[in-house]
Chain A
Amino acid sequence: MADIELFNALQLDAIREVGNIGTGNAATALSGLLSRMIQMDVPKVELVSIYELGEHYGDPMQIVGAVFVRSTGGFGCSLIFIQNEDDADLMVELLLKQQFGTYIPVNEIPEEMKDSALSEVGNIVLSSFLNAINLLVGTHHQISVPGVAHDMLSSILDVVASIYGQMGETALLVNTELRVEGLDAGRKISGHIILIPDPDALELLLTRLKVM
């Protein structure tokens, strides 16, 4: 298996480009779902110590809403769509308003409906991301049913540690942000997509991209 700490700049660039293409497709899909403009960042490829994951993405104790999917097949990976809990609430309000035409404040939406809406958003964002990658790399995949959790950021990110901790002490992650802007009162909704490639899938990816 490739040693992720020895990847050269060209290889990291190739992984970033994969993230870029995934993010573009995810932004387009989210824009279609919400009928809104979506802003996206250029993704970052990050080598993060598994001991510092919690701090790396902000306050480890902040409450976040997270949607998680697993992709198996050619390019095995896990993906998390992660939002600050307030942003996740706004996202749910926005989606339900878009689909039913009436505004319902989030505290009047039943928990199950909130989770189901959040899971829908996460599923569309993450599967669009994956579809673009697989098209680029020329692999086929199966995507799992999404799992939803609301909890402390640090607890959620234990899942990354449990994937990369088996191999060593560093995780390779592709991190990008999508933002919904132009909402009432200058509010915006932000969400992070974190791609966690299976360590043994990276070699395949780089081989297909002809940089290994």
Chain B
Amino acid sequence: MAESTIVLGMADLMVVPAPVKLVTLGLGSCIGLVVFDSFAKVAGMAHIMLPDSRGLKGSEKVGKFADTAVPALIEEMLKKGATRPRIKAKIAGGAQMFSLPGSSAEFLTVGAKNVKETKLKLAKMGIALVASDTGGNKGRTIEFSTSNWLLKVKTLGKGISEI
């Protein structure tokens, strides 16, 4: 069966059976979270924008926040045949696009908070984080393929790496 390509937009979250290629374009401070079970042949991705949903109205997309995206993604994986001990995770993104010396604006460091919260949630749920490419000041485009279960990360000026 041919591998289809799915591009996820901001706050999108989805789990699909292999073969598939999951893509997210131009991650800045956002996080691309990939989870997969290579035995059950199923993979999922979420495009996380912010660390936590506290104090916000409940009507929003679950993929938007790290604290809601991680449990939703895992639940969806289990529904599609994955088992929790076999699920592995990879993350990329969480850059700080602008540094303003002397400015204490909190939103500028949201990338680092996204990384921290995503890792924390994964650890709490007992999901192994097997690879990550996070931080820095450059945007990333990512592609996860179930043909080799590798996450391809493209960074401007740094080329492509596979993790």
Which residues in A have some Cβ–Cβ distance to B below 8 Å?
Answer: 50-54, 60-61, 63, 66, 68-70, 78, 144-159, 161-163, 165-166, 168-169
Contacts and interface: CB of A to CB of B under 8 A. Distances in A.
A159 B139 CA distance: 12
A188 to B, nearest CB: 25
B64 A149 contact: no
Interface in B12-58: 25-30, 49-50, 56-57
Contact of A152 (B98, B99, B101, B156): B156
Contacts of A69: 100
B28 A70 contact: no
Contact of A166 (B26, B50, B61): B50
A68 B100 contact: yes
B95 interface: yes
Interface stretch (B71-79, B102-110, B127-135): B102-110
Contacts of B49: 50, 158, 161-162, 165
A162 B30 CA distance: 9
- Dominant SS at the B interface? loop
B27 A158 contact: yes
Kindly state the interface size class of chain B when it binds its partner.
20 to 34
A145 B50 contact: no
B153 to A, nearest CB: 13
Q: Most chain-B CB neighbours within 10 Å: which of A157, A163, A165? A: A165
B148 to A, nearest CB: 24
Interface of B: 9-11, 25-30, 49-50, 56-57, 60-61, 64, 95, 97-103, 105, 107-108, 110, 137-141, 156
Tell me which of B10, B11, B100 has the highest count of chain A C-beta atoms within 10 A of its own C-beta. B10
A63 to B, nearest CB: 7
Most buried by B among A63, A70, A168: A70
**Most chain A Cβ neighbours within 10 Å, of B56, B99, B100:** B100
A120 to B, nearest CB: 16
Given A166-B50, A168-B57, A159 B27 contact: no
Contacts of A68: 97-98, 100
Contacts of A51: 9-11, 61
A149 B102 contact: no
B141 A158 contact: no
Given A63-B156, A152-B141, A169-B60, A159 B100 contact: no
Contacts of A163: 107
Which of A63, A149, A155, A166 has the most chain B CB within a 10 Å cutoff?
A: A155
A159 B50 contact: no
Given A51-B11, A149-B137, A162-B110, A156 B97 contact: yes
B23 to A, nearest CB: 11
